[in-house]
């Protein structure tokens, strides 16, 4: 069921990197319930992943709690667009691809206190149960070095009846610097994972054409070699592909940076952490500096503010 939804979402829009919340399949006897190599040839590390699993996938789990505790929110100001326009990517994805009604979007500039010279844009759909303030508060937790790999957030309603044609949950259109999904998906650990996709893309192809797919660090031999050297993906979800595994590694690196005592302490001294050593060190070698709290945006690296607008 979840798998089918995931595939449907990805197939509908090639550059999408999707994330589905998925509880571990406790009743299955399958050793690798998320990515069985017999059924999924794209499993990495032979479908093996670190166990005991890192508990950082679901709202309210110990990873999500740690992000909420140790990633400070930032203040922000909102400025609602009144020019009857929206960024072209919001129209392209939200209306043309995902079939939401253009009249139901409210567009905001959100200027965070750690980047006063350049706002982000939120295209907020009025079916969203979370208010723009709640959404902006969640986004503000994302360390600015990571956040600057995004420029647009699209926030949809949570019910299937809001728009029966939309089957997704939350995803990243990495080449466009967009995080898009249901308001329910806007919580800390979900956004850390999704932003990891934007970082992955921005590291290698910051100027990918819209709506192209660009490239990503997780496609490089450096990343593939790190996974091969370890022989275990960072998580069950990460075992699904190199790109998901990269985003999952970012969660682990961020916890290592923010949690007192690091990843070892956060994980209750998981005895198998050495199984992901090469992925952690390779990730750090390219992205460590973005996975820290504090500081300011770097306008030279920030994904450009969207200037291509359409009338609605």
Could you list the residues that contact ligand NAG (CB under 6 A)? 51-52, 79, 81, 109, 119, 271-272, 305
By C-beta, is 70 or 81 nearer to ligand NAG? Answer: 81
User: What is the nearest approach in angstroms of ligand NAG to the Cβ of residue 5?
Assistant: 29
By C-beta, is 70 or 305 nearer to ligand NAG? Answer: 305
User: What is the nearest approach in angstroms of ligand NAG to the Cβ of residue 197?
Assistant: 24
By C-beta, is 21 or 51 nearer to ligand NAG? Answer: 51
By C-beta, is 52 or 261 nearer to ligand NAG? Answer: 52
Contacts 24+ apart (CB under 8 A), 112-117: 112/74, 112/75, 112/76, 112/139, 112/140, 112/144, 112/147, 113/74, 113/75, 113/76, 114/74, 114/144, 114/295, 114/296, 114/297, 115/144, 115/147, 115/148, 115/296, 115/297, 115/302, 117/297, 117/299
User: What is the nearest approach in angstroms of ligand NAG to the Cβ of residue 229?
Assistant: 16
User: What is the nearest approach in angstroms of ligand NAG to the Cβ of residue 79?
Assistant: 3
User: What is the nearest approach in angstroms of ligand NAG to the Cβ of residue 111?
Assistant: 8
By C-beta, is 79 or 131 nearer to ligand NAG? Answer: 79
User: What is the nearest approach in angstroms of ligand NAG to the Cβ of residue 48?
Assistant: 7
116: CB partners within 8 A, 6+ apart:
none
By C-beta, is 5 or 51 nearer to ligand NAG? Answer: 51
Report in angstroms the alpha-carbon separations of 220 from 46, 217, 224, 279, 285.
18, 5, 6, 13, 14
User: What is the nearest approach in angstroms of ligand NAG to the Cβ of residue 163?
Assistant: 26
Ordered DSSP codes for 180-223 = EEEGGG-SHHHHHHHHHHHHHHHHH-TTPPTT-----GGGSHHH
By C-beta, is 71 or 276 nearer to ligand NAG? Answer: 276
User: What is the nearest approach in angstroms of ligand NAG to the Cβ of residue 45?
Assistant: 11
Q: Is the peptide bond before 112 cis (omega within 30 degrees of 0)?
A: no
Helices (H), the chain: 2-12, 62-70, 88-90, 132-141, 144-147, 188-204, 221-230, 242-258, 262-266, 277-287
How would you class 200 by CB atoms within 10 Å of its CB: exposed for 0-12, middle for 13-18, buried for 19 or more? buried
Contact in structure between 97 and 17 (CB atoms under 8 Å): no
Q: Which residue is nearest to ligand NAG (CB)?
A: 79
By C-beta, is 98 or 248 nearer to ligand NAG? Answer: 248
Residue with tokens 């040839």: 41
């Amino acid at each position: 069921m979840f798998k089918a939804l995931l595939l449907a979402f990805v197939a509908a829009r090639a550059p999408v990197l999707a994330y589905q919340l998925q509880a571990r399949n406790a009743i299955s006897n399958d050793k690798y319930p998320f990515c069985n190599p017999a059924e999924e040839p794209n499993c990495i590390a032979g479908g093996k992943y670190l166990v005991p699993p890192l508990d950082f996938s679901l709202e309210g789990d110990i990873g999500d709690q740690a992000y909420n505790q140790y990633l400070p929110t930032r203040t922000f100001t909102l400025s609602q667009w009144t020019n009857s326009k929206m960024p072209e990517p919001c129209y392209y994805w939200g209306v043309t691809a995902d079939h939401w009604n253009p009249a139901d979007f409210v567009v905001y500039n959100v200027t965070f206190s750690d980047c006063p010279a350049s706002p982000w844009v939120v295209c907020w759909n009025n079916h969203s149960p979370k208010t723009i303030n709640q959404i902006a508060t969640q986004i503000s937790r994302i360390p600015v070095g990571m956040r600057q790999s995004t420029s647009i957030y699209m926030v949809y309603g949570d019910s299937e009846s809001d728009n029966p044609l939309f089957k997704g949950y939350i995803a990243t259109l990495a080449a466009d610097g967009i995080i898009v999904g249901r308001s329910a998906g806007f919580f800390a650990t979900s956004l850390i994972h999704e932003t990891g996709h934007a970082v992955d893309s921005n590291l290698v192809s910051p100027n990918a054409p819209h709506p192209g797919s660009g490239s990503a660090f997780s496609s490089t031999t450096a990343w593939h070699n790190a996974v091969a050297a370890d022989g275990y993906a960072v998580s069950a979800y990460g075992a699904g592909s190199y790109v998901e595994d990269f985003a999952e590694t970012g969660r682990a690196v961020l916890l290592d940076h923010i949690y007192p005592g690091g990843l070892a302490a956060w994980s209750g001294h998981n005895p198998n952490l050495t199984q992901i050593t090469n992925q952690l060190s390779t990730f750090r070698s390219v992205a460590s500096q973005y996975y820290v709290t504090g500081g300011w945006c770097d306008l030279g690296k920030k994904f450009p503010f969207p200037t291509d607008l359409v009338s609605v």
